[in-house]
Structure 1
């Protein structure tokens, strides 16, 4: 009887240990346009790690097409094939790869949300507010810029910094407008 209980306890502990190594991040369902061929180009060129001021974030498996996650606990999520945004009053930033991003901050959930502007299909990053989002955007911007075609829409003005720290507040101001 004791041997069975011990074997069961060891089995449960082993299963918990294996599951704790790097469980799959649940992001189901996939974004609406996840099957776009440009999203496939983004996904195959993603880095295995992202650098952050909190250390290296390791890429993790996800359960939805055209998604990626980094960190344990998950700190960065990429979704390609999200709805393409139109003109917006959200603040806009530009990364070093030349990609425009619409920026939203949810203080309650402690999440930054960045959605590409002027790209079709669109991609979205959710980033923990514990991280510096500019570092993450700059690391992923080149893959986004190379894979997702421009639509001709650009931001009419961009924030001085990715976090808006160099500007007056997080209050949205009219930013992106279509050109051409």
Structure 2
């Protein structure tokens, strides 16, 4: 699933992107952490209300949208505004990172669930390894890469079934019947 790659790459990549922004690195990271904490609490609440599919699609879309805004305002003052928008994007990447592991496990039937989670975790870690390479690029290009991948991930979410309040598939046939 591309979502694992995007979530791992996006969260770790945008975190590194924020640390390289102008201004005090400690202040930038503190703002990012301060925004992620309420995002985590909101995630717990919203997962039970709106479902996994809508939550994952929305958080990926918002992460990409806020990253586009970050890049578009990169040459304007005040510079702290760019940091805030990047931190909000990072928060949405983190929120999608939270749900993707829950959602991914719910999509696979019991016989292959552990193996599937292992493969998906490797994809996430591959995204984390690719993120620093993207951040070597020009900051505008790197920002657009993170944004584009998040927006593509959001669109691909439309192809996935909803798993909220559904029984987990026990066999491969049940999983195939789900779509």
- In the superposition, the TM-score normalised over structure 1's length comes to 0.26
Q: Bigger relative contact order, structure 1 or 2, given CA contacts below 8 A and separation 6+? A: 2
More helix by share: 2
Select the structure that is richer in strand.
Answer: 1
Larger Rg: 1
